[in-house]
Each structure stands twice: as structure tokens, then as C-alpha cells.
């Protein structure tokens, strides 16, 4: 494949995929992104102005704009990453999630199907539509239940996960009804450089560096499987190039941890890398706050299928990945300042001000 269209390529995971394609392959990337609040062109690094990177500022719900992009760039594959992805935001405003994640996926599917129908020969046979989803579509698990597999029934808990479940169902329906050659991946919680600081790990890092409280829902007992974003990007590229059409692949980091343990690990790394001026541990800033509605208890991914069939393995442990992530935020204060827009500050006020009130 020489031309790949990536939606959401200026976002957290998308920018990691774009950077890898530009740095490690000869692929031309058509980057389709509407550049919403969580997109950041700085995250693309050297890829942004590379001659094999084509940026198209397009909303995936805009059918005419998408048709133009397909017509002009003639992609050989689509990797669909564009999505509203923050559970807390979906609780406060579910409409945006339905619009982007469901209507946007529908629009992209229809444009891709019409384009694919016009292809011939090897171009048509080789075309793939890779839909990137989340483990949250499966709902949650009890402490002793086995991890999610590719055949786990869907049971989404939040407006976000419900919108992603709906988009997964659409992709499978387009494969079954129209024959569109698709692959789907469902990943666990990502972390790493360039993540928008509304998510747990960057929020804790940046609040700690600013001397602010570290707000943790409930008692921090919720369990997640953590996946370093560069490992995820490698997996996505592998699935697009070698995954079997019609298949689903779960991608996990094999790193289940309670949220409190993750925050403790962040604090311990920061105690070594950036100690507090008062000499106290960063752990003393942890504040337990009211839990969010419908908070899933545990996610766990069985990623044995992608390991067995495609030979992928996560390269980073949670400890090594956290250290790399923290060092990146310490070394890139300009990136941090640019993303701290008024919109981000307003969001923190909306979601945490009342929870952190005395």
C-alpha cells in the first residue's frame, strides 16, 4: 500500500500512526482531520511538513468534502480513527458523540463503499477499511472474570462506548451487506506522548507538575489494561497490512492495574524526576472525588489472537512506558502550553471544580 487515508490523524493515536508511517515506510498519508479541540498539529512533529503527508481539514460528516478527498488522493486503504473519545465529555454532552462516531462513520462508510465499487482488479481486491474501536464496547468485568475476547458480547455503559458500539455494528453490517473489505480493532486504554490532558495519565502528570490536586474517582479501585500508544500504532499498521478481511483483533498492553496504582506509579516517577519544592511526595496531592455515573469497574483484553496470527507483542511495560511518557511531558512544555486553551480550562472547571470543592 502506497496511499493510506487516516481519519483523525492529528489526534493522540492518529498522530502516532502518521509519524510512524512517515518515518518508517514509503507510504503517503492522507490525513483527514477537522482539527477539533483535541487535535494538535504539533503532535505530528516532522511528519507535518513531509512531502508524503497530505493534510485535509475535513469533518467526516461532510460527505461532499470526503468524496473530493477520495477522488483527488485515490487511497488504497482507510484507517478510521476519528472519534469523540472521552467518557466524561460524553456524559455531559452525548450529542456530539453520536454525531461524530455514528453519523461520521456512516458517512465515511458510504463514501468508501462508492469509491471501492468503482475500483477494478487488484486495486479492488487489496482495498481495506480499518475501523479502530475500543474495549469499552464490551462493558465491564468482575474481578475474577476472564478478559474480553473478540467474541465477547457488547454491553456498553456510557454514551461514548454506546456510540463506538454503534459504529462497530455499522462497519460489520457494511461488510456483510455490501461486501466492503473491513477489519476492526478494539484496544485498551492508551497512554503516551501527545495525549490531550483530560485523560487520566496526562492529567495526573500535569497537575502534579503544577502543584495542583490529583483528582481520582471513587477510591481509585477501577482497573484498566494500559497500552503504550507507540505499541498500539505498530499494531494498527500490522492489522491494516496483514489482517484478514472480516476479522476483529483485540489489542491490549497486558498491563492491568488499578487506577490508584497507576497514579502512585506516576507520583513515584515524579518524586525522582521532578521532586516537589516542599520535599513531600507527589502522592500527598491525591484527592478522592465523587465517582462518575456508570463508571466501569474493570477492563481486561485478551490479545492472544493478534499475537498468534500476526506476531505482534507490546514492547513497553507499564513502568517503562510511564517513565517515557513523563519524560516527554517534562521535555515538551511548549506543547503542553499550546494545548491548554480556554476550551480545556473550561472543561476542567466543568468536570472537576465541584468535585474538588471543600
Q: Which of 21, 138, 160, 249 is catalytic?
A: 160
Q: Which of 56, 59, 84, 135 is catalytic?
A: 135
Q: Which of 59, 88, 136, 140 is catalytic?
A: 136
Torsion-angle region of 154 (φ positive above 0: left; ψ -120 to 50: alpha; else: beta): beta
Alpha-carbon gap, residue 157 to 162, rounded angstroms = 7
Alpha-carbon gap, residue 90 to 307, rounded angstroms = 32
135 is catalytic: yes
349 is catalytic: no
Phi and psi of 129, rounded to 5°?
-115, 110
The x, y and z cell numbers of residue 68, run together, are 473530493
88 and 198 Cβ atoms separated by less than 8 Å: yes
136 is catalytic: yes
Cβ within 8 Å of residue 263, ≥6 positions away: 200, 204, 214, 216, 220, 286
Instruction: Report, as residue numbers or ranges, the catalytic residues.
Output: 135-136, 160
Amino acid at each position: 500500500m502506497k496511499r493510506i487515508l487516516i481519519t483523525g490523524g492529528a489526534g493522540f493515536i492518529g498522530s502516532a500512526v502518521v509519524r510512524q508511517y512517515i518515518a518508517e515506510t514509503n507510504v503517503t498519508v492522507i490525513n483527514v482531520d477537522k482539527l477539533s479541540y483535541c487535535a494538535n498539529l504539533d503532535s505530528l512533529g516532522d511528519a507535518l511538513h513531509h512531502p508524503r503527508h497530505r493534510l485535509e481539514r475535513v469533518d467526516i460528516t461532510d460527505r461532499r468534502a470526503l468524496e473530493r478527498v477520495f477522488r483527488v488522493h485515490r487511497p488504497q486503504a482507510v484507517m478510521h480513527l476519528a472519534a469523540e473519545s472521552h467518557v466524561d465529555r460524553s456524559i455531559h454532552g452525548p450529542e456530539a458523540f453520536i454525531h461524530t462516531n455514528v453519523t461520521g462513520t456512516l458517512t465515511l462508510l458510504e463514501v468508501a463503499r462508492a469509491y471501492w465499487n468503482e475500483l477494478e482488479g487488484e486495486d479492488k481486491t487489496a482495498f481495506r477499511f480499518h475501523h479502530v474501536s475500543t474495549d469499552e464496547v464490551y462493558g465491564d468485568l468482575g474481578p475474577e472474570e476472564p478478559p474480553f475476547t473478540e467474541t465477547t458480547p457488547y454491553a456498553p455503559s456510557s454514551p461514548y462506548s454506546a456510540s463506538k458500539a454503534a459504529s462497530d455494528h455499522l462497519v460489520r453490517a457494511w461488510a456483510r451487506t455490501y461486501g466492503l473489505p473491513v477489519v476492526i480493532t478494539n484496544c485498551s486504554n492508551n497512554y503516551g506522548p501527545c495525549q490531550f490532558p483530560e485523560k487520566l495519565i496526562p492529567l495526573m502528570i500535569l497537575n502534579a507538575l503544577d502543584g495542583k490536586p490529583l483528582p481520582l474517582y471513587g477510591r481509585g479501585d477501577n482497573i484498566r489494561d494500559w497500552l503504550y500508544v507507540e505499541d498500539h500504532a505498530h499494531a494498527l499498521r500490522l492489522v491494516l497490512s496483514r489482517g484478514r478481511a472480516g476479522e476483529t483483533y483485540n489489542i491490549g498492553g497486558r498491563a492491568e492495574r488499578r487506577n490508584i496504582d497507576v497514579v502512585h506509579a506516576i507520583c513515584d516517577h515524579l518524586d525522582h524526576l521532578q521532586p516537589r519544592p516542599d520535599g513531600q511526595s507527589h502522592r500527598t496531592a491525591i484527592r478522592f472525588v465523587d465517582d462518575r455515573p456508570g463508571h466501569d469497574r474493570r477492563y481486561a483484553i485478551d490479545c492472544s489472537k493478534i499475537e498468534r496470527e500476526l506476531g505482534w507483542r507490546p514492547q513497553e511495560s507499564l513502568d517503562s512506558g510511564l517513565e517515557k511518557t513523563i519524560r516527554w511531558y517534562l521535555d515538551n512544555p511548549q506543547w503542553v502550553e499550546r494545548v491548554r486553551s480556554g476550551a480545556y480550562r473550561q472543561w476542567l472547571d466543568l468536570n472537576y471544580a465541584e468535585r474538588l470543592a471543600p
